[in-house]
Amino acid sequence: MRIKQIVITCSDLTGDASYDPPVLEITVDLQFSGMRNQFTFGFAFQDFPTGNTIHSMLGRHYIDLGQVRQWLKRCEPEPQDRCRPGAIDNISNFKVVDVQTNRVVFAPENCTFIALSYVWESAQPFRVKKDDFHSLQCSTRSSYAQLDRQKLPCTIRDAMFIAEAVGERYLWVDSLCILDDDEIEIKEMIHAMDTIYKSASFTIIAASGEDADFGLPGIYPGSRSIQYSTGSIDGVRLVSTEKIMRLDLSPWAKRGWTYQEYQFSTKTLVFIDDRVFLENAGFVFGEANPSRPVLVSGKTRLSDDTSSSSYYSHVQNYTGRDLTYDDDILNAFTAILQDHSVRFGTIFCWGLPLQHFTESLMWTNGHHYDKTSTPLIRRAGSQKARAAFPSWSWAGWKGHVQYDHCDNATSFSRKLISDIIWPWNSDYCASSIPLDVFKTGILAIEVQFGTFCLSHCSYLDSLYCQFDGTVESTAGTQDCFLLARISGEADTWNNECIPRNHILIAVELASNGIYHRSGLFRVQETRWMTAKPERKWILLG
């Protein structure tokens, strides 16, 4: 490895120069084997003339809550950008924590509140149940559940403290504000997550620890300890500024439920790596330079969605995250699907949009692209689930999935010719077995079915035969059916020529006569003809 160049620049004194010390940014441009990476390190002047040194700006042992209040005030949205204050009034029995009385109460009309996004893990929070409410009656909004703050997990207690410190009375926490023994309410709240997080004044993201007992470092004196890196250039003493906010590396970012919570939060107060940041409208404020926000790029946020192709990006980003209960794979993604449905007018079937159903079946095992990721394994069904998750849906597998056409999905969909008439199409001819795929997860479809000889594939051909599970066969035969063809007008896909313009779904036959997906293949037409395809009806579950 050799350093190609080092660029040293001192940032302009933007923002409140009388408050923030100027920052010296050192950018190192590295080049290795034709690849280029840039790293930027920030240093502040230790002896700034105004007396506002990095030490006074960035408290070593606690955060400046006054500065947090200034951030929040500065980032108040314009009236036209606010979520309608009464939006949560349409949520039946919506509850919040009153931090003044330590009670879970029915939210007052036009209630303003803060939301909390955190990790449960082994620390199971106290769950509010029906019997915890005094004189609980659905029509009596004056009933409440009394909380003992000292018995709550540290993260929830600290979030209540933050609410008080910034002048907010109400806090929404899932474990306290959703009745744990009311299945109807749980279902309603799962379908209201988008409204809840969009309506919150801001969301506290507890990304520092592994569980709900870790707390929010820095809100109390002595609850954090920050170490500075110091140095000097020509006698000018420098001290390192704060780290870049990397939510993607935190335990919080590995959990399934937190994905949609973050997507719908318009403003977030992030606790991570013993620091606190405020993210708003693509900018991040930090403690070392509190009035000089940094632009954050490369993020997938619902507010940036301009086409239906964003669905594929969200699936890629969401799959591979951890869930305590496998049954929640679609529940924890429901708000994303609902938002997409409203924006683009489509219905979803087991997580796949009917509007682009053929394209959405073209997911592949993410392990083929990133060997550090865990290979896909089938998601087990359970007694709670309405039916076993179908193998043709990404929701039926545990692990990260990839869409090859994610970056150009809109143009790609125009080049794809589906070979299958789906049950919801007007020209669908019903099979002899009446099935409701929305309930059973079983597709009754007429397909071109053939037996593909893997041993006749070249090495290059085998690269396009991608199996879903951990076992990949390179010899023998494989049952497949034709999903779609890429039109002759399309001569490139991801900047490569497309001789392999036939998309196949590899399947295995179960003992009950139902086929299950086992892979996605791309082959040449001549190769597919060797499979001697014939039309037949199959059940795909």
pLDDT per residue over 476-523, tens digit each? 899 999 999 988 654 455 555 557 789 999 999 999 999 999 999 999
**Burial class, 525, CB count within 10 angstroms (exposed 0-12 / middle 13-18 / buried 19+):** exposed
Say how far apart CA 484 and CA 322 lie, in whole Å. 32
Mean pLDDT across the chain, nearest whole number? Answer: 82
**Strand pairing report for 283-286 and 377-378:** unpaired
Q: State the first-to-last Cα distance of the chain, in angstroms, to the nearest integer.
A: 51
Token match 């009933």: residue? 143
- Could you say which DSSP state residue 26 is in? E
Q: Which pLDDT does position 1 carry in this prediction?
A: 47
Select, from the ranges 143-157, 222-236, 363-377, 427-441, the one with the highest average predicted confidence (pLDDT): 143-157
Of 263, 281, 247, the residue nearest 198 (C-alpha): 263
Task: Report the amino acid identity of residue 517.
Answer: R
* pLDDT above 50: residue 131: yes
Say how far apart CA 147 and CA 175 lie, in whole Å. 12
Residue 349 neighbours by CB under 8 Å, 6+ apart: 357, 424, 437, 438
Beta carbons within 10 angstroms of residue 496's beta carbon:
9
CA dihedral 461, 465, 471, 476 (to 10 degrees): -60
Query: What are the Cα distances from residue 354, in Å, to 147, 188, 357, 365, 389?
Result: 45, 23, 5, 22, 17
**SS3 assignment, position 133:** strand
* pLDDT tens digits along 274-299: 889 999 988 899 887 777 777 765 45
Answer with the residue of higher pLDDT: 304 or 485: 485
Select, from the ranges 392-396, 423-427, 456-460, the one with the highest average predicted confidence (pLDDT): 392-396
Residues 378-382: what's their mean pLDDT? 76
* pLDDT tens digits along 75-104: 886 655 555 556 788 898 999 999 999 999
Q: Which pLDDT does position 108 carry in this prediction?
A: 92
Domain layout of the chain by residue ranges:
2-60+228-240, 79-224+246-300, 310-540
Say how far apart CA 241 and CA 288 lie, in whole Å. 6
Percent of the chain with pLDDT over 90: 48
Within 13 Å and on the Cβ side, how many CA atoms surround 85? 7
* pLDDT above 80: residue 197: yes
Q: Please give the angle made by the CA atoms of 166, 170 and 172, to the nearest 5 degrees.
A: 110
Residue 385 neighbours by CB under 8 Å, 6+ apart: 327
Q: Which pLDDT does position 292 carry in this prediction?
A: 72
Task: Report the amino acid identity of residue 286.
Answer: G
Q: Which residues pair with 353 in a beta bridge?
A: 348
Residues 157-166: what's their mean pLDDT? 97
* pLDDT above 70: residue 447: yes
Say how far apart CA 218 and CA 224 lie, in whole Å. 5
Percent of the chain with pLDDT over 70: 73
- Exposure class string for 434-468: b at 16+ Cβ within 10 A, else e: ebebeebbbbbbbbbbbebebeebeeebeebbbbb
